[in-house]
Structure 1
């Protein structure tokens, strides 16, 4: 008998089954209850059976927690328990509840397990799929039996997916529906007439499977590809779905379905005998399956439901339960997740091996195969087997290790795949990719040229990475393979993020992101150091596997690796500079006032040249877009564009070349021309209201809009005006508030917006000479898009008014909305930090607050600044998953910078106290924040 792991079965290989469920004793107990004949028989029978079911589950849980049995044993034990319950219920239904004497031929019935239950693959809270199989149409008696069994299962708490079909119906449906065919492929007899189940198996093989293997393969692989796309199409997501995600259990199921349908086998042992897998690959399959099953069992037990997503909080719980401990340089959860990603990579590797074998032996055409190459027997010195590159034997890679790199270069250039046998030989000899070959200029040239390839380099580098070649040849890259970034901001492991960034850079170069990133799309064709740009993107995060600041460490790695990869001294220095400064552009764009000349001068002094500015904006866009879905927004794009243009002007000698007074005069002249319909007195009155800083902060169109808003509000005597405008350029909604200024006004407005469900991304705050405040805030909805719901926009002025009047208490309102559900944020700790700097702006003190996010935090921070007698003139609001970074430009009550050491110390202490306050949260805050990528 085949002992492989593809089809574990359910009723066999379960240790001490009598301790889990004793069917004989259960049936005797039910018979005794029935024989008593008094009232409540059914309820007492259910109670007795439920007690035995619960005892069986406790025994399985004990083996799980105390004996540390692996997931494979636990899945089988759970399936065995369900089998025994179903068999007991069947006997109870036909013997005690619905006895029919000797059944006729038409009254035969079989209970058949299908789906995961048919494979014997049941986690604690899995559904059970049952087929009630009849020879012909179900008789009235059998309908009653089926109904009794289903009601008993539901009363016991099972979630049952069921179908009632005849033999003919099963065959007919399986022919026309690949889902039903797959379900019947896993059919396993549980109770009733075993001969019926055998007849089904025979007819299924003869009438459904015969001659249709190729169609079934195509259907399952197409289904798999669609599922991968739906789940994010990466096996390296930081919160993976271990069942449906790429590299998860469903991929192993797909292998099982294809192997069982095509080769008519039950386990991997048979696939080894057929030459599909080697013994080593079969062992990798078994280890992957056991690991994933064990993780799934933990997920179900911890959550008490059929949870399949390995979220951050569950990762931290499961890691120690599976024996992972903190080690120097890596926490237990990081080590656990690295193991998970390596297992997911193995699943992908095994899938490719099986698919390659199917393409070779079952006529499937490789997606890489160009028709003009098919007749050829060799390409660039490599053999062509079918449509795949190979070599004469394993000695080629052993004696010429650089060929392990060249074969990938040729495959990419020729749009060919690599034969699975060649990949096996590569895995066997990849240890040769060290020592001399790492110093070989030719070998390094292959890798460098692939990194800089004009045709999507990420695709071939990903194949090299999954074959274990890239990390072996470049150990600096090997250190970040499967390295998770344990936070809620990044979506992928470091190596996968790196490859995504290369892909995004290539898309920029090909013009695919012209509407999303027009500046980068334009300037990438103006850079002189294209090779340096691509190498910098590849190296930019490699420092994350070493202690210290990863940008500085990465720059040192770049200086070491550049010459090895064949870069010139100039290219190497450019790469090192880009890696060291790859966070600078988002740091400035998302945290600093871009209308402040000092900000632009300082950034331009760092960049120094237009070439570096162009390189940096391309790297920045690619880096941010590779963080994860929905991280890139129009607001961030607009801020990066503004910084690029202002810096370009500065480097060209044009940014703010005019004096401050001249610029103010020009702004007033422009507004005068736009307000030609105003009387001279009204115009003079308005021009005298704003202080000089206001005129420098806005363009002429905004000056006009504000002027008309102020004039109309004053003329109508309104004490509060709230104006909203959707800004399509920035992808935000601009909220302008005009009202009497008073201490704490901005804090109250921030609280009102939080209550309204708006997330603040930035603010500019001005007080006019009349004592009125003219504040502008940019907000988004909870998903990062414009806050443009008509009903919410209509309600916003009233919410602001009631908050300013004290009728709404923002903190109380937000607290009342908390659900009490534990937050995934709870597993993260962010040390609170407060920076106070008087060198970033000549007139303002810049306060940067860094800590753990929670609802209403912005309101609390601004309220604290108000109580410290500080006036907020501008705010930049940002989050990175669980971490918040807010920047405030402030003045003291006399209108200058905060200069006294004692006052600065008090600011730090008060803000730290807010950050360390009660952070009870019901999940993503959505109040006053937007995700902005700085630490990518």
Structure 2
């Protein structure tokens, strides 16, 4: 390729770049003045078309070649920062001279400022690539000739259409969608969804267009209505939905200046303002925007399901023999089918009956397209009169009481809009975000996750995951009552006020309307009221204190309530976020459950805590490890009952094996091990008590990047500190077993060196906390027994936080006995048990609280 042509291309590219910048600015200004997605998307495609044709012509490409737009660009739509997908179609493989021209062309395209994705292929190569790769096959489906040999492009189009296997294409796109859904956890309700790729995003709509085009059913929503695959109203609804999602993506690209399709917290508030969405007295503008997005995404998934079923009935017309179920329904090819189109209108009870049949007939994989469409059209029949009908109420209870399919049908009832019409309070939580950075799901999806978790306890295939839960729920009479409690436990979120109290009223009304037994109703209502109590006591209070256990038992009152609350609490915590649950929290709940159970069965407070049993169990473990009887006596004589109440038998045995022969050690003893569930590291420190010891320890762990999830601080009768820590690596950067020796060696060395402890770095503030700041709260109050003070704090989580708290306490001579660290996503809710003379002076307590607040500011 000669230098003159290269220089000419560079000049043309520079000019094209300027025209693209100016043209894009004009399109943006026109869009902002009158936001119409088609004007911007098609306008940008035309703008790029013109510059590509100019450059193609300047390169003097051979007359046998063609320049083809593929993918979204082939469709004639370009988002502000989208890639430009091109195919250079050749009659034969290129020689060296043509390769040089092609390289110059691609370089010129990049010099224009375009993000180009390109392929250079012959027609034969295109056919081979399409046969091997569904993505290539899909891109060619929307191919559009830009410049060059029209006959060659026509040959490609004809051969592609001839080779296209519509049935195989349909199945491949369904599989592709399933894989994409799995990648995004099968939900459109993530806090930061991808408006293109997440379930319910633009990709779902594009997929419907691809299959319709492949099957010859049309190129737009109106064409589908003409083929009677959707109604005219649904076609209009789909176009409005598509425009909304396109607006979101356009604004994201313009806002960030790049191909950003994720609705990150960083952008949500500004995006809402750009779209003209205002805040309400109780909700941010971003929350209003996101609820609208989630409702839209849910509708996309609904219509996607209906249309894919309709496509299937066209592409696979052989319906197969119908098996009659009853006067209203039949089974066609393992799908539930209505026997006539107006069955829901004539017999509204069938709107619930169809879900009951899905549960009762294991062969059913779903509903036919016409059943789904009829269900969608007649969903508004679920109104006040429908809800008041005793037969309908009995049907709803039957759905709750089935042995299988509970979660599946409740998800479908939510997806198809039936649940929000049958339980009006549900309507307000559909798509409602929870900006506590603790729940990663919207309220309705969190509730369905909790329902799923309770159901899993009843299923044998999950018994290995939850052996205790499975045993408890199998012995629980009428476990379906827990499903009702799960449905209502968070149903009043976002109304203002205490959602537990407000939810009680909804639950009580539901139970009364459905004629539930008085005792069963009382249990459900009580569970909704108290659903946070067990978690709070286990994670924030000193459960080694008999009075704490007694107070909790007084709330629970009987063992049936205890079991029900334990099951619901376990399911609730696990249903908030995959990152929130860990084995340590499970152990805290389990210990509280068994202690309370023993108390309710008539044990004394001491027996309830299992102190004697714990000590004997520890002795047995020592014998098992080969230690002769009596070796523990010297150490245990120096430990008071509080130590034994706060540690498990296994921990006591571990400490004893390490320390029994060095109870007067002059050197610090540090031992680390991987936690039993492999979900963290346990560290034991034994050394002569010293000022600022806890500050030094928290500083060391903070500098190593660990989060302290539990700390037990104990001083022996002979003046030694015996402190225990449970640590986790929030970034999961290290294999725990690989760092045990490092912890032991480094911490021992640090403790042997006197001096002021080095403060760990505060670390960087997370994006989530930046956009949804957590105001720190601090409270120091005496406990009910008057022996200790309880420090409660709430703050944004960060490295070094516990060090800052410990440093303030040490400065005022306050002794810390236990620390309960509850990390809830980006938020920590910590509780500390303290003693110190200064805590009896109100003015000093206020000063300490003020200093803590200053340290906790992010």
Indicate the TM-score class for this superposition, using the shorter chain for normalisation.
over 0.9
Q: Shift of residue 427 of structure 1?
A: 3.4
**Is residue 881 of structure 1 aligned with residue 830 of structure 2?**
no
The residue that corresponds to 1:579 in the other structure is: 528
Query: C-alpha deviations, 1:679-700, integer Å up to 9, x for none?
Result: 99x9775344334422333345
Inter-partner Cα distance in structure 2 for 1:600 and 1:250? 53
Contact 1:732–1:787 (Cα < 8 Å) also in 2: no
The residue that corresponds to 2:27 in the other structure is: 60
Give matches, 1:570-609, under 5 Å: 570-609=519-558
Q: Shift of residue 428 of structure 1?
A: 3.4
Inter-partner Cα distance in structure 2 for 1:498 and 1:687? 47
**Is residue 81 of structure 1 aligned with residue 47 of structure 2?**
yes
Contact 2:322–2:330 (Cα < 8 Å) also in 1: no
The residue that corresponds to 1:614 in the other structure is: 563
Residue-pair matches, total: 854
The residue that corresponds to 1:766 in the other structure is: 714
Task: Tell which has more relative contact order, 1 or 2 (C-alpha 8 A, sep 6+).
Answer: 1
Q: Shift of residue 704 of structure 1?
A: 4.3
Contact 2:145–2:153 (Cα < 8 Å) also in 1: yes
Inter-partner Cα distance in structure 1 for 2:359 and 2:41? 42
The residue that corresponds to 1:901 in the other structure is: 842
Query: C-alpha deviations, 1:491-540, integer Å up to 9, x for none?
Result: 21111111222122111101333233222111001112423211111111
Query: C-alpha deviations, 1:722-781, integer Å up to 9, x for none?
Result: 210112147331111223323322122112112112111101011223433211100112
SS in 1 for 2:474: coil
Inter-partner Cα distance in structure 2 for 1:46 and 1:162? 17
The residue that corresponds to 1:90 in the other structure is: 56
**Distance verdict in 2 for CA 1:160–1:792, change over 3 Å:** farther
Match of 2:146 among 187, 190, 194: 190
SS in 2 for 1:878: strand
**Distance verdict in 2 for CA 1:619–1:87, change over 3 Å:** same
Further displaced range: 797-806 or 455-464: 797-806
Q: Shift of residue 892 of structure 1?
A: 0.8
Q: Once superposed, what is the RMSD of the aligned Cα atoms?
A: 3.2
The residue that corresponds to 2:251 in the other structure is: 298
The residue that corresponds to 2:796 in the other structure is: 852
**Is residue 312 of structure 1 aligned with residue 265 of structure 2?**
yes
Query: C-alpha deviations, 1:25-59, integer Å up to 9, x for none?
Result: xxxxxxxxx99x79966554443332222222323
**Distance verdict in 2 for CA 1:833–1:365, change over 3 Å:** farther
The residue that corresponds to 2:746 in the other structure is: 798
The residue that corresponds to 2:35 in the other structure is: 69
Q: Shift of residue 707 of structure 1?
A: 3.9
Inter-partner Cα distance in structure 1 for 2:614 and 2:837? 27
**Is residue 438 of structure 1 aligned with residue 387 of structure 2?**
yes
The residue that corresponds to 2:326 in the other structure is: 379
The residue that corresponds to 1:13 in the other structure is: none
The residue that corresponds to 1:779 in the other structure is: 727
Inter-partner Cα distance in structure 1 for 2:5 and 2:332? 76
Inter-partner Cα distance in structure 1 for 2:194 and 2:355? 31
SS in 1 for 2:462: coil
**Distance verdict in 2 for CA 1:774–1:148, change over 3 Å:** same
Match of 1:865 among 809, 812, 820: 809
Query: C-alpha deviations, 1:284-303, integer Å up to 9, x for none?
Result: 22122211122112222333
Query: C-alpha deviations, 1:458-498, integer Å up to 9, x for none?
Result: 21122222221111121011221121212322121111111
SS in 1 for 2:547: helix
Inter-partner Cα distance in structure 2 for 1:659 and 1:543? 36
**Distance verdict in 2 for CA 1:697–1:264, change over 3 Å:** closer
Query: C-alpha deviations, 1:326-372, integer Å up to 9, x for none?
Result: 12443311211111111111211221122211232222899xxxx9x
The residue that corresponds to 1:229 in the other structure is: 182
**Is residue 563 of structure 1 aligned with residue 504 of structure 2?**
no
Query: C-alpha deviations, 1:230-255, integer Å up to 9, x for none?
Result: 21011222221222211112211211
Give matches, 1:246-257, under 5 Å: 246-257=199-210
Q: Shift of residue 78 of structure 1?
A: 2.8
Contact 2:792–2:832 (Cα < 8 Å) also in 1: yes
Match of 1:648 among 597, 603, 611: 597
**Is residue 150 of structure 1 aligned with residue 106 of structure 2?**
yes
Contact 1:133–1:166 (Cα < 8 Å) also in 2: yes
The residue that corresponds to 1:914 in the other structure is: 855
Further displaced range: 758-767 or 844-853: 844-853
Q: Shift of residue 112 of structure 1?
A: 0.9
Further displaced range: 629-638 or 469-478: 629-638
**Distance verdict in 2 for CA 1:77–1:884, change over 3 Å:** farther
**Is residue 133 of structure 1 aligned with residue 104 of structure 2?**
no
Q: Shift of residue 571 of structure 1?
A: 1.2
- Superposition TM-score, scaled by structure 1 size: 0.85
Contact 1:731–1:786 (Cα < 8 Å) also in 2: no
Q: Shift of residue 786 of structure 1?
A: 9.3
SS in 2 for 1:479: helix
Query: C-alpha deviations, 1:72-101, integer Å up to 9, x for none?
Result: 43332332332222222212222xxx7xxx
Contact 1:233–1:246 (Cα < 8 Å) also in 2: yes
Unaligned stretches of 5+ residues in structure 2: none
Match of 1:401 among 342, 348, 353: 348
The residue that corresponds to 2:359 in the other structure is: 412
**Is residue 336 of structure 1 aligned with residue 289 of structure 2?**
yes
Q: Shift of residue 876 of structure 1?
A: 1.0
Unaligned stretches of 5+ residues in structure 1: 1-33, 920-936
Q: Shift of residue 423 of structure 1?
A: 3.4
Inter-partner Cα distance in structure 1 for 2:648 and 2:209? 64
Q: Shift of residue 633 of structure 1?
A: 1.8
Give matches, 1:750-765, under 5 Å: 750-765=698-713
SS in 2 for 1:112: strand
Q: Shift of residue 113 of structure 1?
A: 1.3
Q: Shift of residue 903 of structure 1?
A: 3.4
